[in-house]
Chain A
Amino acid sequence: MFEQVFFSGLALGSIYGLVALGFTVIFKATDVFNFAQGMFVVCGAYLAVTAISILQLPFALAIVFIVVASALLGVLIHMTLIQPLLGRPMLSVIMLTIALSIALRALIEIMFGPQGRSLTTPLPTGVLMLGSVRISYLHLTAALVSWACMAGFGLFFRFTSVGLLMRASADSHEAAVVSGVNVNTMNRLAWAIGSTLAAVGGLFLGQLQIASTELEGIGLLALPAVVIGGMQSIPGAIVGGLLVGIIEQMAATYISPKSSDIVIYVLLLLILMVRPWGLFGQRELGRV
């Protein structure tokens, strides 16, 4: 039973890690604590419904549609809502992302109705039996794609010139501007990546579960994941996501389904009290 729960937690945690990675990219680049990240997951699921169920695009084309549309959504939000608030207090920006989340939810419910939509893709279904452990191919695919995305973006940030510019902008806006980096473009790119990663998570969650605005709750598990892993740390977001997924499934199975939120948020509180910079974050020291 333990192995079964562990693997399910790992598969779901991989998706949370993907969403959390998107959150961290946005936070590192623009200092925006994005409470709308959960709704980006929902947008991804409904973009998949639009492409696959409504437009009936071939699956490969549907993936392109989802990636392009979600990236454009991120860029649009940055250009129209975030950029004008540059330099304003953090609270204003946080309120904006909360308002954005509410507005997106209402918009989706107007467009698609309040009831969830089922999403069926050509992704492999069925079960792989490893001893007594049942591994769903869909969970396995979701986990593998999430890890591939995380590895891909890790390499992108580490080894490409654009990744370098993005890291430079994230580390110091002023220094990047002085060095001739177009910080606005880097920030837009960060929002595009953040919303796209969430949308990929939404595609899998919509297929594994159901496309519904209630997926926002699952998407928002990225928040404890990044706090646990470390707000500024990309590996931290990934590990935090995996931890949240495993803890959630363990608590739900061995204590009760209601207890998973308690356990996750108690852990978050403990981290904030004992190591506020997270498991992989770096302590910020200020000189007086």
Chain B
Amino acid sequence: MTIQSQPQRSKTAQLSVWLTAACMSFAAWSQDAPQDGVYKDRIDWGLLMDMSGPTSASQGIWVNGFRDYMRRVNEGGGVFGRKINVLAEDNRFNPATDKIAYEKLVSQTPVIAISGMGMSASQVALAPTIKAGKVPIVGTYTATKALSEPVSPMVYNGFCGYKPMAQAGVGYHVDMLKLKAPKVVTLAIETAGGKEYHDYVAEAVAKLGGSATHLTVKVTAVDVTPQILEIINLKPDLITIYGVSNTAILTMKGLAQYGLNIPTFGITYLGAPQMFQSMGAQAAANYKFISCFTPGGVDQSAGNKAMSTYADSIGRVEMKQDINYVAGWVTAQMATEALTKLGKNPTRARLVESLSKGFTVNSQGLAAPFSFSASNNAGPMVFKLLGYDFASSKFKPYGEFADYEKYTR
């Protein structure tokens, strides 16, 4: 053991104070917070989505929309001079992979915030960790109850919610078809979100004095004949589909093969032009999807024009029509606005503090404006149905957002 003399100890302490002060002043000068994913010239932002696996057809497109918006922001100089660096992790439709990827974005390659979280099973599994953690989820893909309830300052929904989807889709069809005591079938893949979506459909139908039946299908199914036969048996007035693109294609082809003309609507992310084209005009005639977003090229709103122009300029002419692309674009806008509010010194803590005070996202027509507050993180709440016009190869809306407000407000 070495015993230091009094002057020596004093010198060591002095040196420590100098070193600490030097480090602090250097940090203040560079405004870095690498532990939060903030660097002198960039901010790291995380994405957790299925970029491979059965749901990648929709979630992969969402990632493209998010990246393209950020690319546009970076081309315009970034946020206060810092470029947004998107670190996208592929969870491969596997909650275990999602858990590893989440930890990576929290501590190994830290990001200021995360968007996406596309897999409902992962949301359920990770919800307690996210809510108790320090990295906010800004702009979820469709959020489950486990993640979005009760309201947490760590979670902000950026996609159309299951509950308003069910309310708007059922409400509109019941009004249009003048149904009394409607019989509805939910055809859903076997996931946490599928059961939750059906529960919301059943709730909405029950309020109208009707009944809802839940039919399940494997996420990788290539045969839905038993479900179609059950539909023949049940004779529903309306069908709603929760699943992947193949679920909707197989169902609509199956219904057409058996000559069944039953109005059907899919959840938001089952709204891609390729899906309708795969169904064919005959099978797609009864199919619409319910959406809180407007696909590219459908209207002339400022937001839609800006997105369409940029998408066209980088060769995303077809993709801009995919509802998932629009959703990714709007979520990136939400992320950028959240960062802009922080000024020149963003950190995770400041982002959480700023978000929890509430903010509004105005996408100038791509979605109806939506607001967050300390007691509301539901995200987009106004919807409309869209079908596909094979003659013009474009989506056509059934009414405006305002026509559907009564079902969800």
Contacts and interface: CB of A to CB of B under 8 A. Distances in A.
Interface of A: 1, 4-5, 8, 12, 114-118, 120, 125-127, 129, 134, 136, 138-139, 205, 208-210, 212, 214-215, 217-218, 249, 252-253, 257-258, 260
Interface in B175-217: 215-217
A214 B223 CA distance: 10
Interface stretch (B156-164, B278-286, B367-375): B278-286
A207 to B, nearest CB: 9
7 contacts: A114-B56, A118-B279, A118-B280, A127-B259, A252-B226, A257-B217, A257-B227
B246 interface: yes
A253 B57 CA distance: 30
A81 to B, nearest CB: 27
A214 B220 contact: yes
Interface residues of B, number: 35
Q: Determine which residue in B221, B245, B279 has the highest number of CB atoms from chain A within 10 A of its CB, and name it.
A: B221
B227 A249 contact: no
Nearest to B224: A209
Contacts of B250: 209-210
A45 to B, nearest CB: 9
A18 to B, nearest CB: 16
Contacts of A260: 226
A5 B230 CA distance: 9
What DSSP secondary structure best describes chain A's contact surface?
mixed
Given A12-B225, A127-B257, 9 more contacts: A116-B246, A118-B249, A125-B257, A134-B232, A209-B222, A209-B223, A218-B222, A249-B225, A258-B216
A214 B221 contact: yes
Contact of A253 (B230, B257, B258, B278): B230
Contacts of A114: 52-53, 56
B226 A249 contact: yes
A115 B222 contact: no
B229 interface: yes
B275 to A, nearest CB: 9
Nearest to B56: A114
Contacts of A249: 225-226, 229
Contacts of B232: 1, 4, 134
B229 A253 contact: yes
B245 to A, nearest CB: 7
What DSSP secondary structure best describes chain B's contact surface?
helix
Contacts of A117: 278
B216 A120 contact: no
Given A125-B282, A134-B232, A260-B226, A212 B246 contact: yes
Contact of A118 (B227, B230, B256, B278): B278
Given A1-B233, A115-B245, A257-B226, A126 B216 contact: no
Contacts of B224: 209
B246 A210 contact: yes
Given A114-B52, A115-B57, A134-B232, A127 B280 contact: no
9 smallest A-B Cβ distances: which pairs? A252-B226, A127-B259, A118-B278, A136-B257, A214-B222, A209-B222, A214-B220, A134-B258, A257-B226
Contacts of A212: 222, 246
Contacts of B56: 114-115
A115 B218 CA distance: 15
Contact of B225 (A8, A118, A129, A210): A8
Nearest to A7: B229
A8 B215 CA distance: 18
A105 B298 CA distance: 38
Contacts of B258: 127, 134, 136
Q: Determine which residue in B227, B232, B256 has the highest number of CB atoms from chain A within 10 A of its CB, and name it.
A: B232
Contact of A218 (B223, B226, B253, B257): B223
A87 B250 CA distance: 44
A134 B246 CA distance: 24
A117 B222 CA distance: 11
Nearest to B257: A136
Contacts of A125: 256-257, 282
A115 B279 CA distance: 14
